[in-house]
Amino acid sequence: MIQPPIMRALTTQKERVIEMPVPDKVSKRKRILFPIIITLATLLLVPTAGPLIAMLMLGNLIRESGATKRLVHALQNDLLSVLTMLIGLSIGATATADRILNFQTILVIVLGLVAFCFSTVGGILIAKLLNKITKGKVNPLIGNAGVSAMPMAARVSQKMAQRYNSQNHLLMHAMGPIVSSTIGSAIIAGIFIAMFG
């Protein structure tokens, strides 16, 4: 609801139909090395974000190793369902009217929506810049995925691209900005936790 009008306003018809090549298949070694390298780099450069990034990357490592199929299944299905239910219950139990229907909470929600819009605009403008640098090889519609709303922002890119060109498949290309923004958000969250307790 929020992103498509911004995406349409900032891109041209010619840009929206740009087809990007199918990404190369990534080897198992690279998929296993990625979480290890990201975790080590974070621990060296931003140690306060280490626990958040380590937990994010541990999930990737467990999945990509292929050695723990039962654990992967449990994490992706049973445990995820239980955790989603517990988060929903705890938020719902504390989301009383006096906490939600006050000026400060509504202001935070409005500021969050504004930040989401600015992030979408920034991501699309950066993707347009990449489009110019690569002489038209990057579809600017993937820029909206830089808001780290995984995986919905990537799906929005895919849906919008296919609306203008049914042969266009941007989902995996949009996952690049979404993963990098998720890693960036976790690093920033770690820094904020260290600064503000």
How many other CB atoms sit within 10 Å of the CB of residue 56?
A: 19
pTM of the predicted structure, to 2 decimals: 0.75
The span from the CA of 44 to the CA of 145, in Å, is 27
- Residue 23 DSSP symbol: P
Tell me, what's the pLDDT at 153? 86
Q: What are 56-70's pLDDT values in tens digits?
A: 898 888 888 877 888
Has residue 110 got a pLDDT over 90? yes
Tell me, what's the pLDDT at 131? 92
The span from the CA of 21 to the CA of 16, in Å, is 15
Has residue 176 got a pLDDT over 80? yes
Has residue 177 got a pLDDT over 80? yes
Rg (CA), the chain: 19
Highest mean pLDDT: which range of 18-22, 108-112, 147-151: 108-112
* DSSP helix/strand/coil, 19: coil
If you average pLDDT over every residue of the chain, what do you get? Answer: 87
Kindly report the three-state secondary structure assignment for every residue of 70-132: HHHHHHHHHHHHHHHHHHHHHHHHHCCHHHHCCHHHHHHHHHHHHHHHHHHHHHHHHHHHHHH
Has residue 147 got a pLDDT over 90? no
Tell me, what's the pLDDT at 117? 92
